[in-house]
């Protein structure tokens, strides 16, 4: 999608702090972090949300990217992964993404 900010990040039209990248996904630090570590993992192909027909290969690549982000960021003690679907859930960019949060005890609350 030409007006999607995450598509522009994935195609390097907009700079970001890339943490991990492969052929299918890119992970970059969130500009508005909600924890000491807050990295977003997105598919390079546009999918609006987690139930928008994301191919299994892409989901597997995203899972691998989460593991790589955790390793690179030193999240040995644990981390949280969140995906929002729709505005009512707090999704503000309509391009499927996973939030990887950590770097401090997150407790039992959602965020």
Closest CA to 45 of 63, 28, 61: 61
Whole-number Å distance between alpha carbons of 19 and 48? 22
Whole-number Å distance between alpha carbons of 88 and 55? 25
Which position among 47, 95, 97, 99 bears the catalytic label?
A: 97
Task: Give catalytic status of residue 97 as yes or no.
Answer: yes
Active site residues: 97
């Amino acid at each position: 999608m030409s007006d999607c900010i995450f598509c522009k990040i994935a195609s390097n039209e907009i700079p970001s702090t890339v943490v991990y990248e492969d052929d299918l996904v890119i992970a970059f630090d969130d500009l508005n972090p909600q924890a000491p570590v807050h990295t977003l993992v997105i598919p390079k192909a546009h999918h609006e949300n987690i139930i928008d027909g994301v191919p299994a290969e892409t989901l597997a690549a995203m899972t691998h990217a989460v593991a790589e982000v955790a390793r690179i960021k030193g999240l040995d003690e644990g981390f949280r992964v969140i995906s929002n679907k729709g505005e009512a859930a707090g999704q503000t960019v309509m391009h499927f993404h996973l939030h990887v949060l950590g770097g401090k005890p997150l407790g039992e609350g959602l965020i």
